[in-house]
């Protein structure tokens, strides 16, 4: 078991109607920058609840942040926030809005070119205070200090972390899931699933409690996914379980004392950067390749995963692992997501492009740093 | 699923040698009150590591805090801390030392009679800053804001909570378990086990992820207990898994959105107050009574517990529940702990005394508030 340091100061308000608690967290009279996306919050009533909670504040709005939030869009929010000298920023949305807001609140504290801290050329500055109202369970961003930012101009997508950039609070109201398109629910389930496996399907010998917690998130997703994805509005409890699973999947708890992988995410980011695929879709495509190619290094954990999550035990190691990968593929496909590159019209040239990018950046991925650019090519090649 | 608010700001340092990190957390030149117990830390090297980490601070020592920390002892520490105007308090010990330190650091901020806030006659004041070095996994006190204080003069024992009284940091070095007496390890395992069931064996419909997490802690304890309790020094990994299970068992995570019981604890506290029994022992005695008497109210969760923790499925509900209770009793006894009142020479008169105390206080216990003093008597009567 590895040494670790852990701290997560985020305050959660969980439950129907809890958006009103925003009023407890932001001082009356504050100038609040409210960030959001394409406007779905105006149709499902969340916008109205937020504005009611902020009735004693001065509100500046910045809407229109897109999925895979774009650097150029976000820089306009930074300029607005600086010009207005806002006291607090409230992100109302899913992971893209929250990630974008993590960038905005850090960049408002930065005088140089903020791209530098995204790509690691400069330390990330402490963020100005912000909170979130979560509308889409998926990324866990509401209870962590990481963010992923895209730059369409250069087809790039990078993650950064900011130990001084946790939300002060996050409101998790499960009723936000009621009106989500099934495609977004499917993406959120897959994102949560693979956040968990990135912290679980690595080396043997991780803490037993963390293995059980990770398996608990995965089992929960497998149990509730059919209800969430079925036609019609899901139940409150299914939505609540989904929201809790997503938050627990990436708030640092599952990572205590474990080795982490993240190769699937890093490769997936390139597919989004190059082709604009949904993040969840890229993960469903890449994951099976990573497990296939790295099956020897991950063998002990893949066998444990097969048994504890899917109840698969009979046969040789490779047979069990094949069955577990197939069960996972069936699960992703049951959500309506295609899992092969060819099904999205993506072929050979992209594989070469991704390999070249990792070679240029000298990136070796995975829990042991042995997912070389050559291995990345192998991973993608078995997903053609 | 219930609404909930959650925040846990404690910073953890986990791993061998991490006691040195205390130096990062306490400013050089600070006047530090170091609280500890009977002196085992001087024999196992922890005292020396703490003093090395505090070499740039002014250290005031207060040793001799006993198990089930006594109000009168702690009041002497409060007087010392106030007289010396200490900047920071560092608890080095198990739950008793940490709980006692939570009282000391709150009482140092209080001008009246601090007993008032223990018994709920006054709000608990914000605590002066403190951290912990954990030496005995059991209570979870290192990562929560609760404490239990005894008053031998009046044979009383009460819990209090202080939202402004979390440790700033806690160091969890699993090697501290190496030199623990097996009796303390057994008590710590039982304490962790029953902290978990107090948050799990309640009403149906709690969050699926929380159920899985609770089962994960229980399964981990069942797996590692034989290694920990066997003769000789346990392995680092077993100690680390134990320490992590204890901390996760009562840091607020398992409680998210769930109903909580705590009847077993409240009844157990009386047995300690009246007879000085180890806390873990009282829990092992009382738990089976609580489950037996409340089996209808807890039926759905007891059946789930039987299946997921012990693999018991066949038979009627009552048969399954009986088997699960028996399996748990075997588990406690395998740790060398006797689980009947009679085995400790405790009889009828104590049962009446406990019932009378709860009647005087008008306490109804349990997740539904239906464990009346009469039910308490039934619970204890079936443990004679």
- Determine if residue B155 is left, alpha or beta; phi over 0 gives left, psi from -120 to 50 gives alpha, anything else beta: left
Of B10, B208, B244, the CB nearest to A207: B244
Would you say residue A321 lies in a domain?
yes
Our CA angle for B98, B100, B103, nearest 5°, is: 110
Residue A19 has a pLDDT of: 98
B338 touches chain A (CB under 8 A): no
State both tokens at A226.
């059919």
Residue A97 has a pLDDT of: 98
Would you say residue B6 lies in a domain?
no
CA-to-CA distance for B239 and B137, rounded, in angstroms? 9
B18 touches chain A (CB under 8 A): yes
Residue A39 has a pLDDT of: 86
Residue A92 has a pLDDT of: 98
The neighbouring-strand residues paired with A147 are A160
Q: How far is A25 from chain B (nearest CA, A)?
A: 13
Which stretches in chain B have pLDDT values below 50?
A: none
Sign (positive/negative) of CA torsion B25, B28, B33, B38?
positive
On whether the CB atoms of residues A258 and A202 are closer than 8 A, the answer is yes
Express as a percent the part of chain A with pLDDT over 90. Answer: 99
Quick one: B46 and B192 in the same domain? no
Would you say residue B148 lies in a domain?
yes
Q: What is the CA radius of gyration of chain B?
A: 20
Cβ contact, residue pair B3, A9, below 8 Å: no
Residue of B nearest to A244 (CA): B209
On whether the CB atoms of residues B73 and B41 are closer than 8 A, the answer is no
Cβ contact, residue pair A212, B213, below 8 Å: yes
Residue of A nearest to B168 (CA): A7
Instruction: Please name which of B112, B66, B63, B70 lies closest in space to residue B92, comparing C-alpha atoms.
Output: B63
Interface test with A, best of B208, B242, B248 (most A CBs within 10 A): B208
B63 touches chain A (CB under 8 A): no
On chain B, the residues whose CB falls within 8 A of the CB of A16 are: 3
Quick one: A120 and A35 in the same domain? yes
**Which pTM was predicted?**
0.97
Cβ contact, residue pair B217, A212, below 8 Å: yes
Quick one: B229 and B319 in the same domain? yes
Cα A6 to the center of its chain, rounded Å: 19
Quick one: B350 and B287 in the same domain? yes
Would you say residue B5 lies in a domain?
no
Give the phi and the psi of residue A168 in degrees, each rounded to 5.
-70, -35
Mean pLDDT of chain A: 97
Q: How far is CA A83 from CA A72, A89, A109, A131, in A?
A: 17, 14, 13, 20
A260 touches chain B (CB under 8 A): no
Q: Can you give the residue range of the structural domain that contains A295?
A: 181-381
CA atoms within 13 A on the CB side of A39: 1
B220 touches chain A (CB under 8 A): yes
Cβ contact, residue pair A213, B215, below 8 Å: no
Domain CATH for A95: 3.40.50.1970
Which one of B152, B176, B200 terminates a domain? Answer: B176
CA-to-CA distance for A122 and A124, rounded, in angstroms? 6
Domain CATH for A247: 1.20.1090.10
Containing H/E element for B7?
strand B4-14
Cβ contact, residue pair B11, A18, below 8 Å: no
Q: How many domains does chain B have?
A: 2
| Average pLDDT by stretches of 10, chain A with 384 residues | 96 98 98 96 96 98 96 98 98 98 98 96 97 97 97 92 97 97 97 98 95 98 98 97 98 96 97 95 98 98 98 97 98 98 97 97 95 98 96
Quick one: A166 and A213 in the same domain? no
Would you say residue B269 lies in a domain?
yes
Residue A1 has a pLDDT of: 86
Quick one: B97 and B33 in the same domain? yes
Which one of A176, A202, A220 terminates a domain? Answer: A176
User: How would DSSP label each residue in B288-340?
Assistant: HHHHHHTTTTTHHHHHHHHHHHH----S-HHHHHHHHHHHHHHHHHHTT----
Contacts of A189 (CB under 8 A, 6+ apart): A221, A225, A228, A229, A242, A280, A335
Residue B49 has a pLDDT of: 98
Quick one: A144 and A82 in the same domain? yes
Q: Are strands A156-161 and A130-134 parallel, antiparallel or unpaired?
A: unpaired
Give the phi and the psi of residue A371 in degrees, each rounded to 5.
-85, 85
Instruction: Please name which of A42, A101, A93, A95 lies closest in space to residue A77, comparing C-alpha atoms.
Output: A101
Which one of A176, A200, A225 terminates a domain? Answer: A176
Mean pLDDT of chain B: 97
Report ipTM (2 d.p.): 0.96
Quick one: A165 and A205 in the same domain? no
How many interface pairs between A and B have CB atoms less than 8 angstroms apart?
131
On whether the CB atoms of residues B165 and B7 are closer than 8 A, the answer is no
Quick one: A222 and A161 in the same domain? no
Would you say residue B336 lies in a domain?
yes
Instruction: Please name which of B256, B209, B216 lies closest in space to residue A219, comparing C-alpha atoms.
Output: B209
Q: How many residues does chain B have?
A: 384
Would you say residue B312 lies in a domain?
yes
On whether the CB atoms of residues B379 and B267 are closer than 8 A, the answer is yes
On whether the CB atoms of residues A194 and A265 are closer than 8 A, the answer is yes
A218 touches chain B (CB under 8 A): no
Quick one: B278 and B129 in the same domain? no
Cβ contact, residue pair B7, A10, below 8 Å: yes
Cβ density class B20-51: b for 16+ within 10 Å, e for less: ebbeebbeeebebbbbbbeebbeeeebbebbe
Would you say residue A360 lies in a domain?
yes
Quick one: B79 and B221 in the same domain? no
Residue A243 has a pLDDT of: 98
Cβ contact, residue pair A212, B205, below 8 Å: no
Quick one: B21 and B159 in the same domain? yes
């Amino acid at each position: 078991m590895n040494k670790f340091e852990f701290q997560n100061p985020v305050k959660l308000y969980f439950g129907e109607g809890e958006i009103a608690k925003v009023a407890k967290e932001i001082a009356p009279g504050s100038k609040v920058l409210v960030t959001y996306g394409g406007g779905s919050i105006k149709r499902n009533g969340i916008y109205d609840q937020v504005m009611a909670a902020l009735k004693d504040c001065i509100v500046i709005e910045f809407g229109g942040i897109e999925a895979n939030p774009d650097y150029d869009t976000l820089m306009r929010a930074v300029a607005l926030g600086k010009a207005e000298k806002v006291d607090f920023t409230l992100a109302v949305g899913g992971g893209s809005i929250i990630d974008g807001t993590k960038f905005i609140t850090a960049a408002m504290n930065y005088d140089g070119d903020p791209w530098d801290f995204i790509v690691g050329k400069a330390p990330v500055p402490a963020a100005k205070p912000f909170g979130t109202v979560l509308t889409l369970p998926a990324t866990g961003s509401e209870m962590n200090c990481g963010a992923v930012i895209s730059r369409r101009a250069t087809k790039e997508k990078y993650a950064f972390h900011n130990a001084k950039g946790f939300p002060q609070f996050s409101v998790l109201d499960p009723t936000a899931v009621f009106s989500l398109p099934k495609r977004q629910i499917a993406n959120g389930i897959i994102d949560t699933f693979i956040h968990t496996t990135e912290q679980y399907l690595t080396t043997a010998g991780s803490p037993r409690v963390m293995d059980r917690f990770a398996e608990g998130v995965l089992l929960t997703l497998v149990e509730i996914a059919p209800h969430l994805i079925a036609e019609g509005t899901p139940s409150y409890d299914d939505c609540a379980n989904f929201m809790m699973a997503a938050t627990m999947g990436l708030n640092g708890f599952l990572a205590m004392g474990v080795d982490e992988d993240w190769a699937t995410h890093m490769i997936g980011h390139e597919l989004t950067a190059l082709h604009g695929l949904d993040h969840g879709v890229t993960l469903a495509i890449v994951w099976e390749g990573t497990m296939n190619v790295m099956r020897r290094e991950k063998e002990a954990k893949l066998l444990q995963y097969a048994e504890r999550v899917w109840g698969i035990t009979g046969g040789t190691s490779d047979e069990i692992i094949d069955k577990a990968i197939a069960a996972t593929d069936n699960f992703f496909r049951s959500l309506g997501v295609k899992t092969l590159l060819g099904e999205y019209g993506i072929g050979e040239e992209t594989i070469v492009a991704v390999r070249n990018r990792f070679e240029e950046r000298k990136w070796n991925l995975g829990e042991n740093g042995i997912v070389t650019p050559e291995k990345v090519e192998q991973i993608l090649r078995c997903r053609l």
